[in-house]
Structure 1
């Protein structure tokens, strides 16, 4: 027996579950399919090593879905400052008066209470998953994968690996970078693997949760320190998420170090203002890559989130871009129903692609430029990035305009920077040759 829905969403991660909730709010019926089981949250457990920096724009969206308060009731840490500096590795840096340049972005300068929240991915996913199960319009198929799909002029039918068949007017693939939906739809991708990998770890520090994130740029790759919540087990201590980019062999060495030796290496990599580190929980590393689908839709299938694009996680923008996909797609599908149009209308899905693909591409290009500029020690490039950091500190108006865009407060960048980023592919090739 085939079950019929308005929409079929594959992937109940953060983006897929958000799409399902948004559609259900407007009384569309949704089949939500995921190979995993319901995410769990235990306030007594150590933090998950998978975290995201949720922007102000994402916060507004999650509030509209009715899940933001649920997230805050679990765990979320606001941050009001972001410190960025160049590690003093280059020989010339020793000659600079006052040391290498450094800049700090502040919520107060942007006219807002905070720049964003650091939230564990399972917390966000659980809030969205739980809310989806509260909607009568959502039917959840947990522990199920998609085996095949077929479509005709009226609908698309997916067959699950359990043998169940589901029919809808549009199939939404939000099932991650290795998207099965994307493969079945025959949509190709362009993929660029970076030479570095990323190590993530949960570390404890002495004191209450801080309101500042630290971003250090080293020639071997950036390193970030993101504050989390107070520790319920260790009185007077708090948790933080550490992200360290480097060559795979260096990260293997770091993962194998005893806890005290690992923490000593971390202390050496950050300024003295970093709070005193007291312990480390989980450590893991993973490869990083940039990937972009050649198109965002095909027939009655459309992609969102990591199924359509994965980005260098340098600034934690990946899930924020995915939520922007979700908002855009929901709005267009609501419009289609109001106008009595087929949700798979190519003109409608082309509008989605035209709005989201260039925007995602600009952010991907921006992160690539940062990656190449800050991941080498060639003297001209070193001088350029130090000049850039110095100008950022000295020109707060321009710095704050960029920050407001990155945090989802403003919709666009200043025109001069938009022009620069439109030429980013050429800049990337130039930097890559240095």
Structure 2
């Protein structure tokens, strides 16, 4: 087959990869996106347009998009096109131990305290991906479905590297971006190692109807068995996350919806109220960090570079931060007439993002260990810590701003 040469070749058309494709295409670069999931399957799982009279159910996979990520999505022309009916703003973040009662509201951050209209939005992953794909332009060539079988960097000195696909043959680019997830094939083909581990717990995720109107607060209750989290969704709906031992989570995921609803109401705080389970699923908790973020002309972004404990919902936000910095450095190199895969720029990207990502990964691990410990001394320390943090004034405001993506 005929070899195709592009400025940017992105393996993975999910949220992070698609956002980079848009940013580079807007600079006039020729971009190829290789995605293994057939278009028909992606489209079948996506919400319909807001103009349609019947709204499909909320998908199980949602993300908490912070203000920094929102700005990135605005800059690439995506946020403005997201259907308002699929967005749910949240204006408060809350963390507490035990049941939440008026005398035990733990630590709460509000948008008002930060002089912001909101802290972020909850949105379905597939709704965001669909909107991105709808903005693809004539500078973007989408190869889908496409299965990568090999990588060649032998010609890297000549100014490009190539992947071979089953369906489209060889596709080449001056810069190859691996945005193909935590099990990244391109990372493995590039010979980039990684380290990490699987936690002893897993997550149950459920989409539910609630007895209350649309809410604007996301909260986490910490228990000895693991956190319980609430994410508001459009309308009288919510996404619930239940951390627990792997066997427990697997068993919960197999329960009929009505029985699972009873289990949730018995184990979540009373403030949740009555619910009806609509969808449920589970996934294991893992941590992964690539040993380096680039090799030759291949550079890693998002989950291909790092997987984080989802405790604070920072995964996709870290991926968008990767994308924003990489795009900035590559476009700067372009303006200076340098190679798009210049080793100095890729090294700078790795050093800056590794530091930020490792800080967040370590913070989430520390937070996870602190609040899952049953040691009485730590239990007392975290209760005192939440109380002190709630009264910390400037420190509390700084932490809240960091969580909302307004700092860092």
Q: TM-score, length-normalised on structure 2?
A: 0.93
| Alpha-carbon displacement from aligned partner over 1:337-395 (angstroms, at most 9, x marks no partner) | 10010111111110101110110000000100011011121111111111111112111
- In 2, the alpha carbon distance for the partners of 1:212 and 1:88 equals 16
Runs of 4+ in 1 over 4 A off after TM superposition: 97-101
Q: Which residue of 2 aligns with 1:32?
A: 33
| Alpha-carbon displacement from aligned partner over 1:165-218 (angstroms, at most 9, x marks no partner) | 111111000000010100110000002110000010101012321111121111
Partners of 1:101 and 1:390 within 8 A in 2: no
Q: Which residue of 1 aligns with 2:140?
A: 138
Structure 1 residue aligned with 2:70, among 42, 59, 73?
Answer: 59
1:128-167 → structure 2 map (5 Å cutoff): 128-132=132-136, 135-151=137-153, 152=155, 153=157, 154-167=159-172
Structure 2 residue aligned with 1:246, among 240, 244, 247?
Answer: 244
- In 2, the alpha carbon distance for the partners of 1:131 and 1:163 equals 23
Partners of 2:95 and 2:106 within 8 A in 1: yes
| Alpha-carbon displacement from aligned partner over 1:87-129 (angstroms, at most 9, x marks no partner) | 269xxxxxxx986561211110111011100111101111111
Q: Which residue of 2 aligns with 1:415?
A: none
**Distance apart, 1:253 and its partner CA:** 2.7
1:21-420 → structure 2 map (5 Å cutoff): 21-38=22-39, 39=42, 40-42=46-48, 44-73=55-84, 75-87=86-98, 102-132=106-136, 135-151=137-153, 152=155, 153=157, 154-230=159-235, 238-277=236-275, 279-410=276-407, 412=408
Q: TM-score, length-normalised on structure 1?
A: 0.88
Partners of 1:34 and 1:142 within 8 A in 2: yes
RMSD (Å) for aligned C-alpha atoms = 1.7
**Distance apart, 1:240 and its partner CA:** 0.7
- In 2, the alpha carbon distance for the partners of 1:77 and 1:99 equals 28
Q: Find the residue that maps to 2:271 and give its secondary structure.
A: coil
Aligned residues: 394
Partners of 2:90 and 2:122 within 8 A in 1: yes
The answer to which of 393-402 and 264-273 deviates more is 264-273
Q: Find the residue that maps to 1:374 and give its secondary structure.
A: helix
- In 1, the alpha carbon distance for the partners of 2:253 and 2:295 equals 42
**Distance apart, 1:77 and its partner CA:** 0.2
Q: Find the residue that maps to 2:372 and give its secondary structure.
A: coil
Q: Find the residue that maps to 2:9 and give its secondary structure.
A: strand
- In 1, the alpha carbon distance for the partners of 2:188 and 2:286 equals 18
Q: Find the residue that maps to 1:260 and give its secondary structure.
A: helix
The answer to which of 310-319 and 281-290 deviates more is 281-290
Q: Which residue of 2 aligns with 1:94?
A: none
Unaligned runs of 5+ in 1: 90-96, 231-237, 413-434
